[in-house]
A and B are shown apart, each in its own frame.
Chain A
Amino acid sequence: MFTQFFGSYLLNKKIVSAANLRVALEKKDTTRVKLGVLAINAGYMTAKQVDAVHKKQATVDKRIGDIAVEMGYLTEAQVEELLSSQKTGCLLLGQALVDMGCLTNEEFETVLNDYKNENGLTDNDFSNEDNEKTENVISSFFAIEGEYKDYCSEYVNVLFKNLIRFVGDDFTPLQSAVTDDKDIAVIQELCGDFNAVSAITADNKAATAFASRFAEEEVADIDYAKDVVSEFLNLSNGLYNVNISETTGKEIGLNPQETTTASAVNGIKAKFTLTIPVEFTFGTVVFTLAVI
C-alpha cells in the first residue's frame, strides 16, 4: 500500500504530473528494477555514484554490478544481495518514472528518502507492511483524528487491501475530489458501536471499468455496474467487520446496500466525513465514510 501513497506523495509534491503517474502505474508491472535504483534504495550508493557507473558503462562492455565493484562503490556480496532483494511496488514505480525520463536517479534518491523519513518508514516496511505503520500513513494522509481515528484508518486500510486484491494496484489515493457530478452512487449503513454510512460514487466510465475488473467480465450495462460496485462495497465492509470483530471483539451490523445519488451522499449529516478519492488508471472512484 506504500506504493499507492508514494504515488500520492509524488503528485502532492508536484514531482510528477497525474498523466505521467498514470502511465508509470500502467508500466510498473512490466518494469525491471535496475541495480542503480536498488542500490539507491538500500543506501549503498548515491545517485551521483549510480550516474558515474552508468557513464562508465557507456565506454566499457561490462555489467553495472561489476563496474560498481571495480569503482569501489559496492562489494560483490552487496551486488548479490541487491539482485536477489524483493522488488517492491515503490521501486517498480520509481524505476518506471526514471525510465520515462520523469525523474533522474538523483531526484528519485531525494524523493524516496524524503518519503521514508516523513513517514518513518524503513526498507523492511516496504516488503512487510506493518498494520500500525500503514494506519499511521493513512491517518496522516487523510488527516484522520479524534474519537473515531482507529475505526476510520482501519476502514481505509481494509478498503485499500481489497482494492489491491480485487480490482488492481494501479491507483493513487487523492486528498480531495468533487463528488457531486458523479453518475452512480451506492451506500451501505454500518451500525453498532460504530455507526456510519459508507458509499462509493463514480462516473459511468469509471464505474463500468471498476465493475469489469471486480466481476472479471466485461461490464457495459450501467445497472449491472451498479450491482457489481454495490457488491464490492458489501464485500469490503463485510471484511472490515470481520477485522473489527477479530481485533476488538465488537461487531458492526451491515444493512443492505442501496442505490442513491452523489448529492445525497454529500448531504449526509455526519459527525465526521472521510472522503477517499482514488485515482485509478481508468478514472476516479470516490469512497466515503460518514460517521453518524
Chain B
Amino acid sequence: MEKDISKAKVLVCDDSMMVRNKMKKLLTAYGFTQIFEANDGAQAVEKFADIIPDITFMDIVMPELSGVEALKLIKTNSPDAVVIMATSVGTVGNLSEAIKLGANDFLQKPVDEEQLDKLLDNYFKKEA
C-alpha cells in the first residue's frame, strides 16, 4: 500500500557516518522530513521500537548486532515492518537469509539516487 511521504518516518541503520549522511541527503531530496539514524545493529532494534518507522534501511556488516540479526529481531516483533537491506555484501547467501527473515528488498551499495527513488516509488506517493 502506498503511504503519504509527508507523514512517513524513515530509519537509516549503518555504522558509517558517511553512508548515513548520503542516505539522509537522498531521502530529503525524495521528500522525507522525518529521518532517524542508528549506527549499529543493537541501536537499530532499539530505535525501531521507539520510532516505528514506515521504512528502514539496514546495512548488513555492523558492530554489536549484524543487520541480519537486527532484521530478525525487528521482524519478530513487527512482522509488517518494511526493511530494505542496503549493503555491499549482496551475496546469494546473505540475501536469501535476509529474504527468509522477511527483508522486503535489497539495495546494492553505494546507493545511487535513481536506484533509491525507484525503490521508494513502490512504497510511497508524493503530494501532487
Q: State the A residues within 8 Å of B (CB).
A: 166, 211, 214-215, 224, 227-228, 230-231, 234-239, 241-242, 245, 251, 254-257
Please, could you name 22 A-B residue pairs with CB atoms under 8 Å apart, sorted by A?
A166-B110, A214-B18, A228-B16, A231-B18, A231-B19, A234-B16, A234-B61, A235-B88, A235-B109, A235-B110, A236-B88, A238-B61, A242-B89, A245-B91, A245-B92, A245-B93, A251-B93, A254-B61, A254-B89, A256-B62, A256-B63, A257-B15
Interface size bucket, B side? Answer: 10 to 19
Q: State the B residues within 8 Å of A (CB).
A: 15-19, 22, 61-63, 87-94, 109-110
Cβ–Cβ < 8 Å partners of A238 in chain B:
61, 87-90, 109
* A251, B87: Cα distance in complex, Å: 15
Main secondary structure of the interface of B (DSSP, over half): loop
* A255, B15: Cα distance in complex, Å: 12
Which 3 A-B residue pairs are closest in the complex by CB-CB distance?
A238-B88, A238-B89, A245-B91
* A164, B88: Cα distance in complex, Å: 17
Cβ–Cβ < 8 Å partners of A227 in chain B:
16-18
Contact B90 A256 (CB under 8 A): no
B110 nearest CB neighbor, chain A only: A235
* A214, B101: Cα distance in complex, Å: 32
Min distance, Cβ B97 to any Cβ of chain A, angstroms: 10
Min distance, Cβ A259 to any Cβ of chain B, angstroms: 12
* A215, B19: Cα distance in complex, Å: 9
Contact B110 A242 (CB under 8 A): no
A231 nearest CB neighbor, chain B only: B16
* A257, B17: Cα distance in complex, Å: 13
A-B Cβ contacts below 8 A, count: 53
* A230, B19: Cα distance in complex, Å: 11
Min distance, Cβ B22 to any Cβ of chain A, angstroms: 8
Cβ–Cβ < 8 Å partners of B87 in chain A:
238
Cβ–Cβ < 8 Å partners of A224 in chain B:
17-18
Cβ–Cβ < 8 Å partners of B89 in chain A:
238, 241-242, 254
Cβ–Cβ < 8 Å partners of A245 in chain B:
91-93
Contact A230 B61 (CB under 8 A): no
A223 nearest CB neighbor, chain B only: B17
A225 nearest CB neighbor, chain B only: B18
Min distance, Cβ A219 to any Cβ of chain B, angstroms: 8
Contact A242 B17 (CB under 8 A): no
* A231, B89: Cα distance in complex, Å: 12
B40 nearest CB neighbor, chain A only: A256
Min distance, Cβ B89 to any Cβ of chain A, angstroms: 4
Cβ–Cβ < 8 Å partners of A214 in chain B:
18
Cβ–Cβ < 8 Å partners of A237 in chain B:
88
* A223, B110: Cα distance in complex, Å: 21
Min distance, Cβ A71 to any Cβ of chain B, angstroms: 51
Contact A256 B15 (CB under 8 A): yes
Cβ–Cβ < 8 Å partners of B88 in chain A:
234-239, 242
Cβ–Cβ < 8 Å partners of B18 in chain A:
211, 214-215, 224, 227-228, 231
* A192, B17: Cα distance in complex, Å: 28
Cβ–Cβ < 8 Å partners of A257 in chain B:
15, 61
- Of A166, A211, A228, A256, the contact of B61 (CB 8 Å cutoff): A256
B19 nearest CB neighbor, chain A only: A231
Contact A251 B91 (CB under 8 A): yes
* A242, B60: Cα distance in complex, Å: 13
